[in-house]
Amino acid sequence: MRRLLRSPLLWTLLSSVVVLVGVTAWLLTDRATSRGDALKTGALAGGAIAALYGLWLNDRRRRTEEDRHEIERSRISDERFAKSIELLGNEADQVRVGAMHSLAGLARTRPEYRQTVLDVLCAYLRRPFNHPNFDRDIKWGKESRAEAERERLVRRAAERLIRDILPHAGTTGPTLSLNLSDARLDKLGLLGRRVGWFGADRCEVLTYLDLTDAQLSGKFLLENVKIHGKLELTGARFERRVSMDNLVVEAPVDFTVATFAEPPSLEGAKLPPGSKMS
């Protein structure tokens, strides 16, 4: 009985009847109005109440359906994320690359996953990695060299996807950060991308770190880093503190082509001849 009394449908019907009777009775007080016209007008008023209830009910059903779809999408996304993480440990390099692309696709369609996916890709690049170009003092066999080269290509895919996930410089929206400390990088290019906090302390870069036209809106930490190739800074904008203490670069670096909010810290840095300071 209590449930019935709380029913919106019951109260809508009662309201419709009350409005019908009330409007009809009020119109009948006017002698110029016939009984038929009064009943017709009262019925229209009562029907309007029922129509409003129908609109409310349809809207409620629509929102319930949207919530159900969103819950289902979230469940599918969570399962996709978990499966991709599992596949990152697969022995086959093509499977690992496929898992990375799956994570990147998830980051594109579900913005709330972007920072998490970036964290996962950065964590992959922090995994122990040996390669003849990094470890020349190790004796490499034909099979181990081929395996190292396949892993190098997988890591290149991770580096490209990190760039693709990051927003473009000059745009607004959430700020995404990168933690690449202790990683071994090959070709990391953040060309024209917007990055928040960037930490790559103690990392080693084989070919290049390219920050052309990048917007670095958070702290930029590149301490105790060795870059065998090139550090490209053309058009880069550093909006917070920059620390490159003990940086070692084998190719000349031009700091004059970048914009710094404050002079970068280069204590103990070793730069080759031809480098230009800002």
Which two three-digit tokens encode residue 175?
């700020």
Dist. CA 91–CA 83, nearest whole Å: 15
Dist. CA 13–CA 21, nearest whole Å: 12
- DSSP H or E stretch at residue 238: strand 237-238
Identify which of 234, 225, 174, 231 has the alpha carbon closest to the alpha carbon of residue 203. Answer: 225
Contact 210, 232 (CB under 8 A): yes
How much is the pLDDT for 20?
45
Q: Which residues contact 105 (CB under 8 A, 6 or more apart)?
A: none
- Each residue's pLDDT expressed in tens, for the chain with a length of 278 residues: 455 445 555 555 555 555 445 545 554 455 555 555 555 554 555 555 566 666 666 767 777 776 676 666 677 778 888 899 999 989 999 999 999 999 999 999 999 999 999 999 999 999 999 988 888 888 888 898 999 999 999 999 999 999 999 999 999 989 999 999 999 999 999 999 999 999 999 999 999 999 999 999 999 999 999 999 999 999 999 999 999 999 999 999 999 999 999 999 999 999 999 999 86
Dist. CA 240–CA 124, nearest whole Å: 27
Dist. CA 157–CA 94, nearest whole Å: 11
Which two three-digit tokens encode residue 33?
């109005």
Q: Is the dihedral of CA 73, 77, 79, 80 positive or negative?
A: positive
- Residue 29 DSSP class: T
Identify which of 217, 207, 206, 222 has the alpha carbon closest to the alpha carbon of residue 255. Answer: 222
